Amino acid sequence: MLGLLFAILYALVFWGPGTKGLGYEERLHPRLGLDLIGGTQATYVASLANGQAPSRESMEESRKIIDQRVNALGVTEAEVVVEGNRNIVVSVAGEANDQLKTVGQAAQMRFRKVLKVTGDAAAVAVNPPTATPSAAPSGAAPKPSTSAKAPKAPAVTGSAVPSASTGGQGGGERAPAPSASASAPAAAPSAPAPSASAPAPVAPDIQQQRAAIAKKVGAAAWSAAEKLTDPVDLSTNPAAGLPYKPFSTLSGEEVNALTPEMQFNVPTISCDQLNKRTAGAIDDEKSKVVACQSGAKMLLDVAKVVGTDIDTASPQLDQQTGQWVVSLDFTSTGQPKWTELTREAFQPAANDPCLSAAQAMSTGATHCLVAVVLDKEVISAPEIQAVLSSQSQITGSFTAVTARELADKIKYGALPVTFEPSTTQTVSATLGIAQLQAGLIAAAIGMGLVAIYAFFYYRLLGSVIFLSLLLSGLLTFGALVVLGRTTGFTLTLAGIAGFIVSLGVAADSFVIYFERLKDEIHEGRSARSAVPRAWARARRTIISANTITIMAAVVLYIVSIGAVKGFAFALGLSTILDLIVVFLFRHPIMTMFANTKAFLSPRVSGLGRALKRAPTEKEA
């Protein structure tokens, strides 16, 4: 059994995940921590609309969320600290990676009903084909396209019930890719123009920006854009977008000053421009907004559920379908909000344009979509097919990786403060390879002294100690390599200390076993019969002692952070592996030795005095 375990472990070391493109020597390298090989350091600066510094509580909450994001895939030994009153510094071992590129981007999470959908036709609107179809009648108002359909993406569904056996229902996401013809998908029936109802007050600075934009694009383009109530139809006349060409020159900040309806309807305002808006540009819960997903512009309703309403999100493997899903749980205050939002999407009013938007995304849609918006990005837009009053699921063509990515975005996306990346730099090792080598030498010396003492005091039994420690070391090393490549576990000096401490725990189990063996022989039993009795009595003590160590390591891992967490993980891992060696190697080899002549020799076995004092042989 132990041999099979070794075969599986080292097969993963040499040919498992993450080994592609690596030489055989490189495959034996564990992932080292920031204190040993250096890494990448990124600084994120908090930005608030009023220019004031965020509160200390908001910064600490942000630090915790960013730390969770960086460590979402395992024990990475990342350092996340608050610096000053508005900076968060993240340090990760190794070269710059995707985690640091995205860790501070998301500001706030909002759940918004999708009101309308149109394709990103800016490129064709600005540069239409030279051979244009017949133009629309002079003076005719642009009409929404009814012939083109947005390309489909894999469906995403939601579950209304937590139990898989009850057969949950849900919704599907159809994320359209950019259309080759750049034609807009089927639009909803005309919604009332913004002027039909009392408009929201406009701040003086926004009014000034709009006046400057109107002057920049020209009176004709501005007037035409103000009259739009639906996206311009480019499917029959691509040249219809030319009057709005000046809008393609606007910056992200200028686009942000426009009304949501204008951002959505003007065909020359692209998703690229919308994505260049400042972080937090569409955070206002009480305003309609425009966001993009996979080449589609979406007009979104006010946010009725926010990120702080989410309790947790996790990737799960559906036992019925064998597919990966993302499970959502809401807080006690968030669940009623989510239920009401799904009710509104599942049972829309007859004149609600959201149904047409869902049909534009999917020909089979019968209910409305709800977009999950993280900062400026729509990360998911599932169709709601039930009133979700309990745990919900988002399902679709997920892999284990993509399901975890979506779950992490939802779970860790609600930063209370908006952050902008400031600087990214390479930092040198705080301790270095020399210290690593010194630590390993110290561990080797310690193990050597244990082996010398074991051979001196226990003789033949000392070989059992030495071989057990050697096997534990090989198991630990293999586990380090595999965990480093699959879960992000990094080895630091604190972790090395945890492994060294585990040597003492392993040595204690030897002493317990061998001294119990001597006691059995002192009681008059032969060495051969004393072995199974000693094992039966020592086993409970060994298990209890190691269980206490593992429990202490688990508690320390849960309540600690940083290097201490790495120490606790290493101690717990090595203790578990020691227990495996105890049961799969130490007891079997002792049973084998008990049947040899050398074991019965007082001089060779290490049981000399005990064997000499045994007056009689008492078989068990």
What confidence tens digit (pLDDT) does each residue in 338-356 have? 999 999 998 888 788 888 8
The DSSP call for residue 416 is S
Contact present, 171 and 369 (Cβ < 8 Å): yes
For the sheet with 392-395, list strands across it.
310-317, 324-330, 392-395
- The pLDDT confidence band at residue 216, using thresholds 50, 70 and 90, is very high
pLDDT for the residue 220: 92
Q: Are 470 and 2 in contact (CB under 8 A)?
A: no
C-alpha distances in angstroms, 188 versus 118, 125, 361, 386? 10, 20, 11, 22
Three-class secondary structure of residue 92 per DSSP:
strand
Spatial distance between the Cα atoms of 317 and 409, rounded to a whole number of angstroms: 18
Sort strands 324-330 and 392-395 into parallel, antiparallel or unpaired. antiparallel
Q: How confident is the model at residue 97 (pLDDT cuts 50, 70, 90)?
A: low
Per-residue model confidence (pLDDT) at position 197: 42
The model's confidence at residue 172, banded by pLDDT at 50, 70 and 90, is very low
Domains of the chain: 39-104+415-427 (3.30.70.3400), 109-129+145-191+279-413 (no CATH), 433-613 (1.20.1640.10)
Average pLDDT, the chain: 75
**Confidence at 108, pLDDT banded by 50, 70, 90:** confident
What is the structure's pLDDT at 429?
A: 65
Query: Whole-model pTM above 0.75?
Result: no
- Residue 537's pLDDT is 87
Q: Are 485 and 17 in contact (CB under 8 A)?
A: yes
pLDDT value, residue 311: 85
Task: Answer whether 481's CB lies under 8 Å from 28's CB.
Answer: yes
Q: Give CA–CA dist 145/360, Å, rounded.
A: 10
Residue 33 has pLDDT above 80, yes or no: no
Report which of residues 68 and 282 the model is more confident about.
Answer: 282
**Using 50, 70 and 90 to split pLDDT, how confident is the model at 162?**
very low
d(CA 358, CA 381): 10
Cα–Cα distance measured from residue 569 to residue 575, given in angstroms and rounded to the nearest whole number: 10
Gyration radius from the chain CA atoms: 33
Confidence tier at 149 by pLDDT (50, 70, 90): very low
pLDDT for residue 126: 66
3-state secondary structure of 383: strand
Report how far apart, in Å, the C-alpha atoms of 396 and of each of 190, 377, 450 are: 31, 19, 55
Task: Give residue 258's pLDDT.
Answer: 92
Edge-to-edge strand list for the sheet holding 79-83: 79-83, 87-93, 39-47, 418-427
Say what the pLDDT of residue 223 is.
92
